[in-house]
C-alpha cells in the first residue's frame, strides 16, 4: 500500500535560490589605518567577509562599509594583525547576527555578541539579526504604566513609564554609571540588558561587582565593547545589545536597556565615517552620526507586545549640555535626567539637577495628586535657588516673603529626600508618601 506524504518544499527552494554556489574570492590590495581595500568581490553594505591570514589560524572578520573606484572598503571586526597584501577575502553572504536565548542571562558578551569568558556553549539559542528596523509607529502600544526605578528623585519628580526612553546627561566622573547600577539593581523589569560602549576596561568588572551586584547580574545580559576595541566593534556593541533587548521584548517581557554611553557610540561612527571619506561637519562629527542616532534610539520603546524601557547616558563635552550629540539625543528621547558637577562636588548623590531634568511622559502616567505634589517641590527648589545668594550672605529678612520662608524651612528636608546611597532602595509607595508629606509640610 503506497502512502503519500505531502512535503512543503517552498522554503528549501527559496534557500537554494539564494545560495551562492560559487563564492567569489577577492584579495586585499591596500590597508590604510583601519580601512581595508579589497578587489574582486561582490558584497553589499553590511555584509560580513572572512579574511584569510594563515591556513591554520582563524580568519579575520570584516564588514563592508563602502566602495571606492570599484574596490570594496572593509573595516575589521577584530584585530588587523596578520593581514598582508594579497590575503584572500571570502564574502559570507550574510550580515552580522547574534545567538539569543534565555541562556544569555547572567552572561557577559563582547561587542559582537560572543561570550567574553568563552565558557558558554555556542550551541543553544537562535540566530537573531543585529540590524533591525524600529517597530511600526502605528503598532506600538501607548505608554500608560509607571515603571518604578527604586530611586526617589526619579520616581518622585521624574516618573518614568514602562517603554519610555530616557537620557542621562553628565560630564565625566559625576555618577552616571552608579545611577545606572542603582536602577538596574532596584528596577522592576523582567530582564536588564546593559551595554558598556567605549568605556575603560577596568570599569567592566567594577560595574558588575559594585554597581550591579549578584542580584542584578542574575537577570542581566552585559555587552561590553571597551575603548581599546576597533571602532566597528564598539559600534556593533550598541546594536548587539539592542538586538538582545528586542528578542526578550518579542517574548512579551518588560526589558530595561541601559547604554553607557551614546557619546562613545557616536565617536565610533565618526571614526568609521572619516575612514570611508565622509567630510567632518558639526564639531568634527560626520553627517552619518546624526543619521545613525535615531536608527539606534528608535528601536527601543514599546512594541506590539512587551516593552524596552531605555536609559542612555550621554557624556557631555566640557559639561556643555548644548554640544551636538547631547542636543541631538535630547531631541529624540522622551525625557532627560541631568547630573551636574556642582551637586556632585557638594556630596549630593545621585547628583540629579531636578530643575534641568524632565520626564515628558510624567504628565500622562502620574496621578493628579502626584503631579501637584511634584510641582510644589520643584517650585520650592526654584524659589530657594533664586534667593540663595541673599540667604547665604544674610541679606534676606525672615517674613519678607512667605514663599521664600517656606522654601528655606523645607530645603534641608527636600535635599535629604533627593539624596540616596547606591545600596538604598526606596519603594514606589514609600516615595510617594514621603513626597506627599514634604509637599504638605509634614516630617
CATH assignment at residue 428 = 1.20.1270.330
CA distance 29 to 92: 19
Residue 77 sits in the same domain as residue 103: no
CB 206 within 8 A of CB 199: no
pLDDT category at 186 given cuts 50, 70, 90 is confident
**Domain span at 135:** 98-366
Residue 108 sits in the same domain as residue 232: yes
Please say if the pLDDT value at position 337 is more than 60.
yes
Do the domain assignments include residue 177?
Answer: yes
CA distance 339 to 100: 34
Q: Of residues 404 and 11, which shows the higher confidence score?
A: 404
pLDDT category at 442 given cuts 50, 70, 90 is very low
CA distance 364 to 361: 5
Residue 180 sits in the same domain as residue 75: no
pLDDT category at 377 given cuts 50, 70, 90 is very high
Average pLDDT over the chain, rounded to an integer: 88
> What pLDDT is recorded for position 441?
63
CB 255 within 8 A of CB 52: no
Scored b (16 or more CB within 10 A) or e, 295-304 reads ebbebbbbbe
- 91-100, 122-131, 243-252, 362-371, range with the lowest pLDDT: 122-131
Residue 181 sits in the same domain as residue 293: yes
Please say if the pLDDT value at position 19 is more than 80.
no
CA distance 337 to 352: 7
Please count the structural domains in the chain.
Answer: 3
Model confidence pLDDT, tens digit, residues 300-326: 999 998 999 999 999 987 777 888 999
Domain boundary among 57, 80, 95: 95
Model confidence pLDDT, tens digit, residues 215-264: 778 889 999 999 889 899 999 999 999 999 999 999 999 999 999 889 99
pLDDT category at 72 given cuts 50, 70, 90 is very high
Do the domain assignments include residue 10?
Answer: no
CB 158 within 8 A of CB 359: yes
Residue 243 sits in the same domain as residue 281: yes
Classify 78 in phi/psi space as left (phi over 0), alpha (psi -120 to 50) or beta: left
> What pLDDT is recorded for position 20?
56
pLDDT category at 443 given cuts 50, 70, 90 is very low
Amino acid at each position: 500500500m503506497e502512502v503519500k506524504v505531502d512535503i512543503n518544499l517552498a522554503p528549501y527552494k527559496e534557500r537554494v535560490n539564494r545560495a551562492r554556489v560559487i563564492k567569489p574570492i577577492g584579495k586585499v590590495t591596500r590597508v590604510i589605518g583601519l580601512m581595508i581595500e579589497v578587489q574582486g568581490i561582490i558584497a553589499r553594505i553590511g555584509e560580513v567577509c572572512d579574511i584569510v591570514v594563515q591556513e591554520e589560524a582563524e580568519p579575520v572578520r570584516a564588514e563592508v562599509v563602502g566602495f571606492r573606484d570599484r574596490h570594496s572598503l572593509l573595516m575589521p571586526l577584530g584585530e588587523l594583525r596578520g593581514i598582508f597584501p594579497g590575503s584572500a577575502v571570502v564574502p559570507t553572504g550574510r550580515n552580522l547576527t547574534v545567538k539569543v536565548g534565555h541562556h544569555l542571562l547572567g552572561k557577559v558578551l563582547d561587542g559582537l555578541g560572543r561570550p567574553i569568558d568563552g565558557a558558554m556553549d555556542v550551541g543553544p539559542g537562535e540566530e537573531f539579526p543585529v540590524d533591525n528596523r524600529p517597530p511600526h509607529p502605528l503598532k506600538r502600544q501607548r505608554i500608560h504604566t509607571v515603571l518604578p526605578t527604586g530611586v526617589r528623585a526619579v520616581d518622585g519628580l521624574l516618573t518614568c513609564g514602562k517603554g519610555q526612553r530616557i537620557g542621562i546627561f553628565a560630564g565625566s566622573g559625576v555618577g552616571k554609571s552608579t545611577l545606572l547600577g542603582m536602577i538596574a539593581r532596584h528596577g522592576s523589569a523582567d530582564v536588564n540588558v546593559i551595554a558598556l560602549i567605549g568605556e575603560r576596561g577596568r570599569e567592566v568588572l567594577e560595574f558588575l561587582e559594585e554597581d550591579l551586584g549578584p542580584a542584578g547580574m542574575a537577570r542581566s545580559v552585559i555587552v561590553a565593547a571597551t575603548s581599546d576595541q576597533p571602532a566597528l566593534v564598539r559600534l556593533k556593541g550598541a546594536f548587539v545589545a539592542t538586538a538582545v533587548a528586542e528578542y526578550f521584548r518579542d517574548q512579551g517581557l518588560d526589558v530595561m536597556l541601559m547604554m553607557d554611553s551614546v557619546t562613545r557610540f557616536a565617536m565610533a561612527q565618526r571614526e568609521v565615517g572619516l575612514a570611508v571619506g565622509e567630510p567632518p561637519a558639526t564639531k568634527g562629527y560626520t553627517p552619518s552620526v546624526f543619521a545613525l542616532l535615531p536608527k539606534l534610539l528608535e528601536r527601543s520603546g514599546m512594541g506590539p507586545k512587551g516593552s524596552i524601557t531605555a536609559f542612555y547616558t550621554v557624556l557631555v563635552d566640557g559639561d556643555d549640555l548644548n554640544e551636538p550629540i547631547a542636543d541631538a539625543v535630547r531631541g529624540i528621547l522622551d525625557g532627560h535626567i541631568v547630573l551636574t558637577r556642582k551637586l556632585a562636588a557638594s556630596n549630593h548623590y545621585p547628583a540629579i539637577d531636578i530643575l534641568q531634568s524632565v520626564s515628558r511622559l510624567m504628565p500622562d502616567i502620574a496621578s493628579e495628586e502626584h503631579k501637584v505634589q511634584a510641582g510644589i517641590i520643584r517650585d520650592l527648589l526654584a524659589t530657594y535657588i533664586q534667593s540663595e545668594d541673599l540667604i547665604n550672605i544674610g541679606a534676606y529678612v525672615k517674613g519678607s516673603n512667605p514663599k521664600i520662608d517656606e522654601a528655606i524651612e523645607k530645603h534641608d528636608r527636600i535635599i535629604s529626600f533627593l539624596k540616596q546611597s547606591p545600596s538604598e532602595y526606596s519603594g514606589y509607595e514609600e516615595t510617594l508618601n514621603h513626597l506627599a508629606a514634604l509637599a504638605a509640610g509634614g516630617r
